[in-house]
Amino acid sequence: MNTRKRIALAVTTVALGAGLSLAPAASAAPAHSAQTARASASCGYYSGTAVTKTGQTGSAAKARIKEVQCLININTSYLPLLDEDGSFGNNTYNAVYTVQKHAFPNDSSQWDHQVGPKTWAKLRSGVWW
């Protein structure tokens, strides 16, 4: 993520936070509504669950990889932030592995450096680490 995107994200976050603090209280929504909203979290590059891994090429793969990179940047505390360039290089490869270790601490079979349905679901579940 380049400096302009980071600044824009920070400004947007501050503006939204200020707006929320000034907004009147709303009635509580059922818990399942919040879970549904978080489960559909997306950066807008891709919304499916196809296996995404190193070595994939083409515009569809690039969109999936950008989605992975963006979701890791916004929903985890993984550092350094990933460039959302659509390339499943070493940084993305290592980030996916680290995220999987945190997401599935008791299931090392999930630590495969590939983003499959379970990893997609975790990445889209909102901020969790």
Angle at 61 between CA 115 and CA 40, to 5 degrees: 55
**What domains are there in the chain, each with its CATH number?**
45-129 (1.10.101)
| % the chain with pLDDT above 70 | 69
Which pLDDT does position 16 carry in this prediction?
A: 52
Pairwise CA distance, residues 125 & 103, whole Å = 11
pLDDT in tens, 59-99: 999 999 999 999 999 999 999 999 999 999 999 999 999 99
Mean pLDDT of 100-108: 97
pLDDT in tens, 17-52: 555 455 555 444 444 333 333 444 899 999 999 999
